[in-house]
Amino acid sequence: MRLSATALAPLLFLAAAGQAPTAWATDVPTVLEIARKQVETADFRASGHLIRVDASGVRTSYGISIKAHWFPGVLRVLLDIAPPPHSSPNARAHILLEMRPDGKNSIQIAHPGDKAPSALPFDKWSDGPLGPGFSYEDFMEQQYFWLGQAPLEKTTFGARDCDLLKSTPGAPDRTHYAEVKTWLDHGIGFPVYVEKSLKGTGAVKEFTYSGLRHDGGVWSAHQVEEKTRGQAGSTLLIIDRGGTKANLGLGDFSPEQLIRF
């Protein structure tokens, strides 16, 4: 199936039609089951652009390709980050993210010329290919598997009726976030807005999903825009094309694939 646009953190949010709650949700396990199922059925390819817009409006655009597949007990996401022409060769990168429900997540990275991928230290997870706007950790969307899940509230975002879910990590969860709040469109169970609060600084990153569309039983977004509250500039994730049911296997996420450029 071809998707004209899907958003990444997001791509993990592909939602089958008819799965959303039919009444105002107070049942956290039911909503979590829906969100987790979307992750646990992931099997897709996608490509597009990651764009940083600085305070003066200047744009820096990197190409991005994504492969993701849920294997028993682990979601694997492989990113191919391609900088503009004439950039340093080390700006090109392959990044393998592995998200596990028990919180034992890992990230590996490789650059052209590397003979083997290397583990990305945890203190670097809050950075990203174009800075901390879309961090490496944001591509895992692990909050639905955290131990703390607060009761849902009825709320709105713009003209949309939403269910608000608050997720907080437990001791085993490796994350730089203290909490994540997700506004899920009540009719379709798809996120339209997310707030992620960082540990230590308390800074809030705001993710807005736009251009929602329904294609072949799957909901997707054209764009996700990240803004850090109180700071100028933003980061955009735009997916131009992709497809579900990619039939990916372990070989697509092997160390050999990480060092193959």
Closest CA to 185 of 236, 219, 141: 219
Around 105, how many Cα atoms within 13 Å sit in the side-chain half-sphere? 30
Predicted pLDDT at 217: 60
Q: Could you give the CA distance from residue 176 to residue 129 in angstroms, rounded to a whole number? A: 17
User: What is residue 213's predicted lDDT score, i.e. its pLDDT?
Assistant: 73
Question: How many other C-beta atoms can be found within 10 angstroms of the C-beta atom of residue 17?
Answer: 13
Tell me the DSSP string of 214-247. EETTEEE-SEEEEEETT-S-EEEEEEEEEEE---
> pTM value?
0.87
Q: Which residues contact 95 (CB under 8 A, 6 or more apart)?
A: 78, 79, 81, 107, 108, 109, 110, 120, 129, 136, 139
Overall domain count for the chain: 1
**pLDDT tens, position by position, for the chain (261 residues)?**
333 333 444 444 443 333 444 444 456 777 788 778 878 988 988 899 999 999 999 999 999 999 999 999 999 999 999 998 888 877 899 999 999 999 999 999 999 999 999 999 999 999 999 999 999 999 988 999 999 998 777 899 998 999 899 999 999 999 999 999 999 888 777 889 999 999 999 999 999 998 887 765 666 777 999 999 999 999 999 988 888 789 999 999 999 999 999
Q: Which pLDDT belongs to residue 5?
A: 33
Q: What is the pLDDT of residue 218?
A: 63
Range of the domain at 53: 2-258
The pLDDT, as a whole number, for residue 244 is: 76
- What CATH number is attached to the domain comprising 111? 2.50.20.10
